Structure 1
Amino acid sequence: MSAAISDDDGTNPATSEFSLDDHVFDAIIFDCDGTIADTLPVHFLTFQEALGEVGYTLERDWYFARTGLSSDKLFNAYEQSFGLTLDRPTLLARCKLLYQNHLDKLREHGFAATIAREQFGHVPMAVASAGMKSAVTSTLQTLDLLELFDTVVTIEDVKHGKPAPDLYLLAAERLNVAPARCLVFEDTEEGLEAAHNAGMRAVDVRPHLTPSA
């Protein structure tokens, strides 16, 4: 497969062609939110509604400036920004329920999703996401992508989220593939750093994402 892309080496996407044939790998690991699935509008509505139910507001610009954070890190940032303390367990439980209400708004990101479909059955593949397991699984099921992956690793499976390497290392372990032989597709600086910290080569998919409405 060939497509214009900017890899994590800083190559100009306008003049470079990306091809999987240029990479040596035995497995592929995808981030979920923002990489293979356009979940940003859904997560924004989910957090906005959950916070609204307890009397707080969530501005679009504030949230979109912090995409890629796990729920826990997002709540940390919210508390620090506005000088308050949130009821984490209650909010997280509510977010799990509210997310399911907006699954109809999900869209896939074609670049990474196409690669996953084309490589299905050829190499082991996994998803490694900082999201909650229920949300990630529902997302992949809704987009008819779940069956493509040998394993799905989420924040609930590890002690440390991105940029720590835990998610990617666990995915490689489950795939029974050495980290250095894994190729990662990511859309955030934290995610790319996590892949690098795991000793994996990472592709930045952001030049190929269509902005959410």
Structure 2
Amino acid sequence: MIKNIEACIFDLDGTLVDSMWMWPEIDREYLGRFGIEYDDNLKNEIDGISFHETAVYFKNKFDIDDSIEEICKDWENMALDKYKYEVKEKPGCVRFLEHLKSKGITMGIATSNNRTMVEAVLGSLNMRHYFDAIITSDEVKKGKPAPDIYLQTAKELGVMPHKCLVFEDVVAGIKAGKSAGMKVCAIEDDFSREVRQKKKELSDYYIDDYRELL
């Protein structure tokens, strides 16, 4: 899989770390503050878009009076404790990162999350030192499924897109990687199990967890 590959670029949530479970909890709790009932279809509507774009979506869809900045700050505060104390790596992840490092393959992160939370979870799991570039969707023009974030990460790493291998757990992210002209390995995650077949169709490779690659 990594033959002729110079860089691996990873999504964060659901790909490097097992954290997708917490976002519906946060959305449900947050909307509950306004007396709004959480709808399970919501996750499909916001899949892949940036943290800031999601706040705009919530404000408009649910007619929330708080500013975009206030919404983002509330979510950040709700998520930070979970990132620091509850979120774990995906099975075999760190061993695989060590394997890539031993092969001289450069690594980066391209995430729809915001930088504060990315740094919090990477610090908690002692994973930050593996990555030479971290780009968030708030730092590019368009979030996933647009290719912007993967192209920007490749540029930061100094690697041509066709020499990059993307690891992703959701359809929007897989589409973003493919649109960037990169190979994509989809990874199993409970949060996206209902679209498993679609993920397999869109990606070049599919794994249940990183231990398959060791």
TM-score range (shorter-chain normalised) is 0.7 to 0.9
Query: Does residue 1:107 correspond to 2:88, yes or no?
Result: yes
Whole-Å separation in 2 of the counterparts to 1:63 and 1:140: 27
SS of alignment partner, residue 120 of structure 1: helix
Structure 1 residue 46: Cα displacement? 2.8
Query: Does residue 1:40 correspond to 2:20, yes or no?
Result: yes
Task: Report the count of equivalent residues.
Answer: 186
SS of alignment partner, residue 147 of structure 1: helix
- 1:10 corresponding residue in structure 2: none
Whole-Å separation in 2 of the counterparts to 1:172 and 1:69: 19
Q: What runs of 5+ residues in structure 1 fail to find an aligned partner?
A: 1-18
- 1:6 corresponding residue in structure 2: none
Native 8 Å contact 1:126 1:149 kept in 2: yes
SS of alignment partner, residue 150 of structure 2: helix
Native 8 Å contact 1:111 1:208 kept in 2: no
Identity %: 27
TM-score by length of 1: 0.77
Q: Return 161-170 or 102-111, whichever deviates more.
A: 102-111
Q: Return 165-174 or 135-144, whichever deviates more.
A: 135-144
- 1:93 corresponding residue in structure 2: 73
Structure 1 residue 63: Cα displacement? 4.8
What amino acid maps onto 2:147 in structure 1? P
Native 8 Å contact 2:49 2:137 kept in 1: no
Structure 1 residue 69: Cα displacement? 4.2
Task: Map Cα deviations across residues 123-152 of structure 1 (whole Å, 9 max, x no partner).
Answer: 110000011111112121112111110111
Query: Does residue 1:140 correspond to 2:122, yes or no?
Result: yes
Of 140, 145, 153, which aligns to 1:163? 145
Native 8 Å contact 1:182 1:200 kept in 2: yes
After TM superposition, where is structure 1 displaced by more than 6 Å over at least 4 residues in a row? none
Q: What runs of 5+ residues in structure 2 fail to find an aligned partner?
A: 189-206, 210-214
Query: Does residue 1:116 correspond to 2:97, yes or no?
Result: yes
- 2:34 corresponding residue in structure 1: 54
Structure 1 residue 79: Cα displacement? 6.6
Native 8 Å contact 1:133 1:155 kept in 2: no
Task: Map Cα deviations across residues 129-188 of structure 1 (whole Å, 9 max, x no partner).
Answer: 011111112121112111110111111211110011111111101101111111111111
Whole-Å separation in 1 of the counterparts to 2:88 and 2:98: 15
RMSD of Structure 2 on Structure 1 (CA): 2.3
SS of alignment partner, residue 101 of structure 1: helix
SS of alignment partner, residue 181 of structure 2: coil
Query: Does residue 1:200 correspond to 2:182, yes or no?
Result: yes
What amino acid maps onto 2:162 in structure 1? A
CA separation of 1:99 and 1:68: change in aligned 2, threshold 3 A: same
